[in-house]
Amino acid sequence: MGLQNKAKQDPELSTEEFNALVIESIQDIKGKNIVKLDLRHLDESPTDFFIVCEGESVTQVKSIADNVYRQLKNEHGILPEHFEGQRNATWILLDYFNIVVHVFHPESRAFYELEDLWSDAIFTEYQDL
């Protein structure tokens, strides 16, 4: 069930609140270099938002992704449309349709340069806790 499906059941959860829950879930596990990319103004963007972060080890990458998954499922019954990359845990993607969460290992983030590919997005950076 994606964000759109859940929004019909829980109109209380806005996109901003959803994004805040994701960012809080990342910060809970000490995710680093958190950036939200707002893609809504771009033609043919694949989603409305990317939330990108990194963990210092594959164990931390997996823990961050698992925490995002668990918090959204347990608090709001929201499951991602797709959840990929858990095996190698160098880049885990959680696709919630309107919001896609990318949890990277630092080397993978540097290699794929996702922020450079979407440099026309509106960027919001969040402090590491």
How far is 50 from 114, CA to CA, in rounded Å?
10
How far is 115 from 35, CA to CA, in rounded Å?
9
Residues 66-89: tens digit of each pLDDT:
999 999 999 999 999 999 998 889
Domains of the chain: 3-8+15-126 (3.30.460.10)
Residues 2-14: tens digit of each pLDDT:
444 443 335 568 9
Which pLDDT belongs to residue 50? 98
Task: Look at 7-11, 27-31, 40-44, 90-94 and tell me which has the smallest mean pLDDT.
Answer: 7-11
Whether 91 and 85 have beta carbons less than 8 Å apart is answered as yes
